[in-house]
Amino acid sequence: MTHAQFSSAWQTVAAAQIRLAGCRMTELFAADPQRVARYTLQVAGLHVDLSKHLLDDAALAALLALAEAAELPRWRTALFAGEPINNSEGRPALHTALRDASPEPIVVDGQDIKPGVAAMHRQIADLADAVRSGRRVGASGQRFTQVVNLGIGGSYWGPALALEALHELATPDMRIDFVSNVDPAPLKRVLAQCEPERTLFLVSSKSFGTTETLYNYQAARAFMAGQLAEGVDRHFIAVTANPEKAQALGFAQDAIVTFPEWVGGRYSLWSAIGLPAAIGLGADRFAQLLEGAAAMDRHFLTAPPAHNLPLLLGLLDVWYASFWGFGSRALLPYDQGLRLLPTYVQQLAMESDGKGVDRDGQPFDYPTCPVVWGGNGNDGEHTFYQLLHQGPATIPAEFVVCTRPDADLPGHRRRLVAQCLAQAEALLTGFDAPDKPHARCPGNRPSTMFLLPDMTPQLLGALLACHEHRTFTSGVLWRVNPFDQFGVELGKRLAGTLERELGGQGVPGAAHDASTAALLDSARGRLGS
């Protein structure tokens, strides 16, 4: 497709938005008794209702044509085939290969990567079994009962989310803690509670150069050295795509679990970064998580566009952000175990698609990646839903709720599901109060509803892979490279300089703006040099 064809497809979508701008979704339902059936999908066990959107068939057709014009099918094929679509770093993004159980080879740089992936998964499974069974023990011969994962961003959110979501399946005799940031408090708290002889630290970092993780590693190591008479090394495992750096920091080769460079940090749950989840849940359940993701991969690859869940969600994200100008979208799990889902998706979507230029370096003249935010839906009702219902901005909402029965606390889940459905209904229908403008809810606010029949590793894997492919889809339509994140580098560099200056090195404030220089001065006075 040429740029002109893309532009003309873009204009058709823009015209559809103008046509629908004054329309109410309740009218769309009234005009089409089949709307719910036609806009509901069942994919990999997930039941997803897309009927409450500011969308009709013509608008959907225009969006599908835009996807064609953006060459989504070609990009999708390139993604799965391992072509170097991360153009700024010249490498593929092959998270899908991590869960692809098919016998077909995937060739990168002339080599089939599948055997290496299988070996990595065998190593994860073996290590997880060894830790869980007590085959691998600490220096004093005691079995491990606590694992502490030191890692941040993609080296944290995925395994933490999986363990929380699937907590009922986790082994009760293994405590798993996560320490991510460099704030001293979380590490101090974990160290104060740990039994050193029974604690295994996983130092999880793709680059093995992330300051927060390395600070926490050095502190944890010093703590363990002070606690154990010998054998501190038995208590540390590095998980990384940069084994040379881990070795330089003292890890022996057999204490390093590697994964390939072509796994992006925020796409790395499926790699060795998932080790804490494999230890907590067991290798079989970790394999089921991969199976669920693989089912979503197959769906994304093969389902017709109009019935392709991640594709449609990605198109809706583009529709609302770029054509309606909605600047954020809310992710609202009605499930305590999915508490971290909004944060996980925040990294996935905003680090991937939050770019200022397209893949050819051209700035955008339309809004792209929205802010993704949210939190536990039921708590949110008593916190921020006021804004969703009556705030001046429309914020597309996405609900996720599990409909399995729960015999232990009868009535709770029924009430939870009722509240979730009620919120989506209220956003749609609104409430008219002609004499009381303060009580009026305008309604006509779009939402997606995910119903999960249960909380299983397969369903969670499918859900997370769905978010990955939806982010990829929107990225293709916005023409960004969703697999780099150069925007995070500047702050890291400046922090290095400021850290040295706070420590008394260099000329404080010399190269800073006046505000930063004054703050530096003030903080120095309190921190000491």
Interacting residue ranges for ligand F6P, rule: CB under 6 A:
152-155, 205-207, 210, 213, 265-266, 351, 485, 488
Q: How far is the CB of 285 from ligand F6P (least distance, A)?
A: 23
Give least dist CB 241 to ligand F6P, A: 8
CB of 161 to ligand F6P, least distance (A): 13
Specify the residue, 216 or 474, whose C-beta has the smaller distance to ligand F6P: 216
Listed residue (155, 131, 157) closest to 145, CA to CA: 131
C-alpha span between 476 and 491 (Å, rounded): 27
Which amino acid makes up residue 92?
Answer: P
Known active-site residue 492: yes
Q: Which residue is it, tokens 């590490």? A: 187
Q: Using CB atoms within 10 A of its CB, is residue 480 exposed (0-12), middle (13-18) or buried (19+)?
A: buried
The secondary structure of 141-190, three-state, reads CCECCEEEEECCHHHCHHHHHHHHHCHHHCCCCCEEEEECCCCHHHHHHH
Catalytic annotation, pick one of 53, 235, 299, 351:
351
Instruction: Say if residues 477 and 66 touch (Cβ distance below 8 Å).
Output: yes
Quickly list DSSP for 259-298. Answer: --TTS-GGG-TTTGGGHHHHHHH-HHHHHHHHHHHHHHHH
Which CB, 205 or 423, lies closer to ligand F6P? Answer: 205
382 classed as catalytic: yes
The least distance separating ligand F6P from the CB of residue 180, rounded to whole angstroms, comes to: 9
Task: Closer to ligand F6P by CB, 95 or 299: give it.
Answer: 95
Ramachandran quadrant class, 479 (left: phi over 0; alpha: psi -120 to 50; beta: rest): left
With respect to ligand F6P, which residue has the nearer C-beta, 206 or 235?
A: 206
Shorter beta-carbon distance to ligand F6P: residue 96 or 205: 205
Burial 101-125 (b: 16+ CB within 10 A, else e): eeeeebebeeeebbeebeebbeebb
423 Cβ contact partners less than 8 Å away, ≥ 6 residues apart: 332, 377, 381, 385, 388, 397, 399, 447
Cβ atoms of 176 and 279 closer than 8 Å: yes
104 carries an active-site annotation: no
Q: What Å distances lie between residue 318 and 78, 113, 328, CA to CA?
A: 21, 33, 11
State the angle between helix axes of 309-318 and 457-478 in degrees (0 to 180), rounded to the nearest 10: 40
Q: Which is nearer to ligand F6P, 351 or 501 (CB)?
A: 351
Q: What is the CA radius of gyration of the chain?
A: 25
CB of 277 to ligand F6P, least distance (A): 16
Which of these is catalytic: 188, 307, 412, 492? 492
Shortest Å distance, C-beta 191 to ligand F6P: 20
Length reported for the chain: 529
The helix, strand and coil proportions of the chain, stated in percent and rounded to the nearest 5, come to: 55, 15, 35
Kindly state the smallest distance separating residue 211's Cβ from ligand F6P, in Å: 9
CB of 489 to ligand F6P, least distance (A): 8
Q: Which is nearer to ligand F6P, 239 or 318 (CB)?
A: 239
Question: 344 with 273: CB under 8 angstroms?
Answer: no
Could you say which of 3, 104, 230, 382 is catalytic? 382
Which active-site residues does the annotation give?
351, 382, 492
